Amino acid sequence: MDTSNPTVFVNAELLGRYVGRKVRAVIQVIRNDGAAVIGKSTDEKQITVKGLPPSQLTTFVEVIGIADGQNSIAADKWTNFGDNFDIFTYNKLCQLANGEYQHLFL
């Protein structure tokens, strides 16, 4: 397992901190137009995900890719997370994993 470049849990607010790095985020799909997906992050802000989404997208998707802007990700891995997802908890996870418990994740 390659742990040299751990994937950072981000929401919209944290995304900007990790531009150029590998990040993962769960977004709620708002619009899908083939080339990019407009999604709502777990802290209720808009994120653009570029790349090739799979044919079927559920309401919530986890994307893993490189952060390439204050609110966009170039994704190369998409995972459907279904239609029921607790964004509050995920958002708290992002905050804790990048805050005081960062040493456990990065």
Q: Residue 57 or 96: which CB sits closer to another protein? A: 96
State the DSSP string of the chain.
---SSPPEE--HHHHGGGTTSEEEEEEEEEEE-SSEEEEE-TTS-EEEEES---S---SEEEEEEEEEETTEEEEEEEEEEES---HHHHHHHHHHHHTTTHHHH-
| Region of 10-18, 54-62, 69-77, 85-93 interacting with another protein (CB under 8 A) | 85-93
Among 30, 69, 88, 102, binds another protein (CB under 8 A): 88
Q: Is residue 96 near another protein by the rule CB under 8 A?
A: yes
Q: Is residue 105 near another protein by the rule CB under 8 A?
A: no
* Contact footprint for another protein (CB under 8 A): 86, 88-89, 92, 96, 100
